[in-house]
Chain A
Amino acid sequence: MSNISKWVIVLLLATVPLWVTNQYQLHILIMMGIFTIGAMSLNLLLGYTGQLSLGHVAFFGIGAYTTSLVSLGFDLKLTEDYTFVFAPKPAWFGVICAIVVAGLCGWFVGKLSFRVRGAYFVIVTISFAEVIRLVALNWVDLTEGPMALNNIPSLAFTIPWADSAALSRRIANYYLVLAVAVISSIIIQRLVQSRIGRTMVALRENEALAKSVGVDVTRSLVLAAVVSAAIAGAAGALYAHYVRIVDPDVFLFIYTVTMVIMVIAGGKGTLAGPLVGGVIFGILPELMRGHMLPEVQWIAYGAIMILIVFFLPEGIVPAVQRWWAGFQRSRQSKMNPHSRANKASPREAAQ
């Protein structure tokens, strides 16, 4: 996709609040956007470096908790007579802290877990997420545990044309999510198309060969983990300031699964994949909601996931690209039967 058509899409998305004024629909778009950002960040690890991280929700949750604690303030009783008091800070500062803390956690997890690969890596990442969830659940002094952190300040600014405060808040959040999504996708695109990003793909394709031409495996993977975690942390921060309540359920494994489905269905290792997957799996549950029980909806999710692995293992975006390339080729050879068919490579088009 050319750069111009990308910006046209962004502009179109920017006009959405002008013609969608239904609060519920805006809410769905905002939640979809937040999870799409999460999926985009996961794609950096899962799609580009080829490491299946199933603990991704940990970074999302860490981002949500960090910004909530920073903007609400907290006090921690460290010893009997010393209590550390952290005064509330502005919400935007909380978001920055969320990105930094999530990124640091990504660095830490990356350093630790990239020593192992394959099934071991997957299990380490899950374990990390579970430990973090249990800490959030049990460290009641800090996190309020299952009582949740409430009344998290909103990040919203006033939208002049909105006729109610509630609508204004939704529209403001919509723009925030859109902005973070655009920035994140630019970061990811520049990274994967760079000299540094190519080393990540090289690891996925052939680790031994990558090493032999001088790629520092650990460095490359840790960098991917840091960027990925920081973006997931940003998504978590947006989530916290939007729903304004954070409890240990943000660490539920099912959220990681949702992001994984978005990436796999859309097409891992492509820039457009998580966006397409995010839109489909952001809207699908809402379409299903009125017609079926949540359990049935989840069963459908699981079935779709299996069907995709069976029939569209590469995901939607590469499949469509291949189909389109084939279509172009056949049209070209019809128009000019003597020229050699121009073999477009799907991978290059995707990147």
Chain B
Amino acid sequence: MDQLLQHLLNALILGSTYALLGIGLTFIFGIMRVVNFAHGEFYTFGAYMVYLFSVTLGVNFLLAIVIAIVLGILLGAVVEWLLLSKHRGADIDTTMLIMIGAWIIMQNAEQLLWSGVAKSIPMPFPEDPLTVGSVSVAWARLFVFVMATLLIIGAQMLIQRTRLGKAMRATFQDTATASLMGININMIYLATFALGSGLAAAAGALLGPIFIVIPTMGNLAVIKAFAIVILGGLGNMKGAALGGFVLALVEEFGAGYVSSGYRDAMGFLLIILVLMVKPTGLFARTERIG
């Protein structure tokens, strides 16, 4: 029973970052119809930026995380402008191939800059875990959970409450009509990709210090992000948030009760299963956003 509770807690914490990762990806797909294979590289980028600022340059850890997220947003904007803005309305395969190219370039650039040796980032939290009854949780993980939850709520507020969010939702509903209503579609796409990338960078910035930072960490991240997004239905943000928790639960219990070697396989099996049974995702009747 205690073990079960501990697994649930671990899944909740991991799930919050998975949700962050998935929301960014589903957001980009929902509005732009781009399958962003470089999503995992923005995740990696976030982790390395935290390493760069907090370890190499000695900036305050919290500030380093904020800088990493901002830089992730900027990098996303640059990538969008450079690679995707010229391919509006291109079929999904075209943009997918472009993003695979971007993935290869970004990952090898990281390898070139920081070598393949894993880096670790120390966190300014007490060593002793917080123990309540029979379950315990590291302070660092608690921090990650709180931050991730805040970011998810922030992203949701941005989409529901702000003018930009309204324009994004209008674009998602009907690009042509949104454009007729005077919404600058190019700006919306730029903002969408930048925001989605920023969320991925945030996930990396939060998880990087917990695990280790290596150039290839994005490979699993991107595929897990796909799993999350498919669970929730492509383009469905609430679905992605839920999907993140479902994946974390399945991984946690799969690893705990079946075999830890197949931990990472759970996501893929889940994808295959979901697509066979309900291709529109577990939580959605149709693709939608918001």
Contact = CB atoms under 8 A, between A and B. Distances in A.
A306 B272 contact: no
A107 to B, nearest CB: 15
A123 B268 CA distance: 9
Given A120-B275, A124-B275, A299-B108, A306 B102 contact: yes
Nearest to B115: A295
Interface stretch (A126-134, A328-336, A338-346): A126-134
Interface stretch (A1-9, A110-118, A233-241): A110-118
A266 to B, nearest CB: 14
Contact of B98 (A127, A257, A309): A309
Contact of B264 (A128, A134, A295): A134
Nearest to A134: B265
Interface stretch (B48-56, B86-94, B130-138, B245-253): B86-94
A299 to B, nearest CB: 5
A137 B109 CA distance: 27
B182 to A, nearest CB: 30
Contact of A122 (B94, B96, B259): B96
Q: How large is the interface on B (under 10, 10 to 19, 20 to 34, 35 or more residues)?
A: 35 or more
Interface in B97-134: 97-98, 100-105, 107-109, 111-112
Contacts of A122: 35, 96
B83 interface: yes
Interface string A288-323: 000001011011011101100110010000000000
A302 B279 contact: no
A52 interface: yes
Interface in B117-174: none
Nearest to B265: A134
Contacts, number: 112
Contacts of B269: 127, 131
Given A119-B92, A127-B227, A138-B262, A112 B100 contact: no
Nearest to B113: A295
Interface in A131-177: 131, 134-135, 137-138
Interface in A239-278: 253-254, 257, 260, 264
Interface of A: 52, 112-113, 115-116, 118-120, 122-124, 126-128, 130-131, 134-135, 137-138, 253-254, 257, 260, 264, 293, 295-296, 298-299, 301-303, 305-306, 309-310, 313
20 contacts: A52-B93, A113-B275, A115-B279, A119-B96, A119-B234, A122-B96, A123-B35, A127-B223, A127-B269, A131-B265, A135-B265, A138-B261, A253-B219, A257-B100, A264-B97, A295-B109, A299-B105, A309-B94, A309-B101, A310-B98
Interface of B: 29, 35, 83, 86, 92-94, 96-98, 100-105, 107-109, 111-112, 219, 223, 226-227, 230, 234, 259, 261-262, 264-265, 267-269, 271-272, 275-276, 279
